[in-house]
Amino acid sequence: MSSILRRGAALVAFAAIAPIGASVAGTTTTTAVGCKAEAGVHITVTPTYRFALRIEKPVKMYTPAQVRKMHPKHGEVMLRGKMTSMGGMSMGGSMRHLEVQICSREKSTVVTNANPTIVLVDTSSKKTTKVHIAVMEGIGEGVADLHYGNNVVMPAGHRFTITVTLKGERAVFHVRRPRSM
């Protein structure tokens, strides 16, 4: 979730009271903010999890090594997985950044070691895409922003069904991209 400018003030406040480590190695969950209802976020709950879907403009992605070297201020760091080619960005703005954050309902923590599957169905063109899962965090946001997803083709004006499955629990989202942005 790259909109640091939009959410910066709130995040700085959280960081001041509860420093959140960027390392996720060996941990299952961490106490953190996340999966909150806010503008542009779609929430679906299953017995164990709370899934928060966000669809944004494509974001600049960095590997952890690039972050250490280049010190970017914006964009996201990729902890696992691979980005889908951004070549589609020139295709009339069809490219979108689809991301899902997963929280434990019981502990109210961000689930960091999940292997979810995300299937994107464009119900307007009847096209089904299995989203390649990358694990990401907004730069400077830490584990509170850890999420799963990738860049996908989502033409404006189309309707979509997005199904996220984790350990047999399934969250289904129905979204529509506005005709013009």
Residue number, 93 or 124, with CB nearest to Cu ion? 93
Binding map of Cu ion across residues 70-89, x = CB under 5 A, - = no contact: ------x-------------
Q: Could you tell me whether strands 41-45 and 49-56 are parallel, antiparallel, or unpaired per DSSP bridges?
A: antiparallel
Cβ 1 to Cu ion, closest distance in Å?
Answer: 6
Under the binding rule (CB under 5 A), the answer on residue 145 touching Cu ion is no
Regarding 99 and contact with Cu ion (CB under 5 A), the answer is yes
Please identify which residue in 118, 136, 146, 154 interacts with Cu ion, judged by CB under 5 A: 136
Q: Is 180 left (phi over 0), alpha (psi -120 to 50) or beta?
A: beta
Contact string 5-44 vs Cu ion (x = CB under 5 A): ----------------------------------------
**d(C-alpha 78, C-alpha 25), whole Å:** 14
The total of other beta-carbon atoms located within 10 Å of residue 134's CB is: 20
For residue 52, the cross-strand partners are 43, 101
Separation of first and last alpha carbons in the chain: 18
Q: Which residues of the shown chain bind Cu ion in the complex (CB under 5 A)?
A: 76, 99, 136
